[in-house]
Every structure is written in C-alpha cells, then in structure tokens.
Amino acid sequence: MKDTRIDVVDETFVDAAPGVIRAQLDDQAWADQVWPHVRREVVRDRGVKGIRWTVTGQVVGEMEVWIEPWWEGAVVHHYLRGHRQPMAPRDVATRHVLRWKRAVHGLKDRLEDNSL
C-alpha cells in the first residue's frame, strides 16, 4: 500500500501583534482561499494563541495555526497532519504549502506595510 501520510510544518515571523494575526483566521473567505482543498471544523480555539481544526476533503486529519509571541511580533506556526485521500492530487502537500506560504507572506506584507 502506498504511503499517504502528510506532515507539513511551517514557521513564519510576522512583525504584528498576535491578536491582529489571530483575527485573520476568523475571516472565513480568506481561510477558504488558503485551504480550498479541505473543510475545517474547529476542535480547539486557543484565542490569541491560535486555532486547531479537524480537516476532511483532499486530506483527512488535523491542522493548526499556533501564534507564538516573539519580541514585538509573533512566529506563526502552521501544521497539517493527516492522510492524502484517493481523489487528491499526488502533490496535495506541496500545493498546500505553496498556498499557505503565499497567504502568510501576503498577510505579513500587509500587516508590516511592506508594499513595493
């Protein structure tokens, strides 16, 4: 049997208050654009520290965004653990990472006002 496990770990520093970063996770339209391949159900809302979901769809498992205060900003940790489903593209984990990096760096640029 083929190994369908997915284990994604990412960390990005954002020079913004953890509460401001956390507010972005409540924007369902934003979250749906970042993660269109999974349906999310909140398992644990940690307030300003982040949120954990169970996910179904192309990946079945759990996903989390953990916001760790660091100096004047925060390290945004992102995890996805689960199994790729048969209907999912083989590179679903890579696509997930690329969508997340695009989204978190867009958030970083907006909150840090790093527009070119």
CATH number of the domain encompassing residue 105: 3.30.530.20
Instruction: Provide mean pLDDT across the span 65-71.
Output: 96
Q: What is the per-residue pLDDT for 114?
A: 63
Q: In this structure, how many other beta carbons lie within 10 angstroms of the beta carbon of residue 36?
A: 12
Query: Distance between CA 57 and CA 116 in Å, rounded?
Result: 36
Query: What does the DSSP 8-state code read for residue 96?
Result: H
Mean pLDDT rounded to a whole number for the chain: 94
Residue 88 lies in a domain: yes
Residue 116 lies inside a defined structural domain of this protein? no
Total count of domains within the chain: 1
By the 10 Å C-beta count (0-12 exposed, 13-18 middle, 19+ buried), 3 is classed as: exposed
Kindly report the pTM of this predicted structure: 0.90
Signed CA dihedral, 100, 39, 110, 15: sign only? negative
Give which of 83, 101, 110, 106 is closest to 11, Cα–Cα: 101
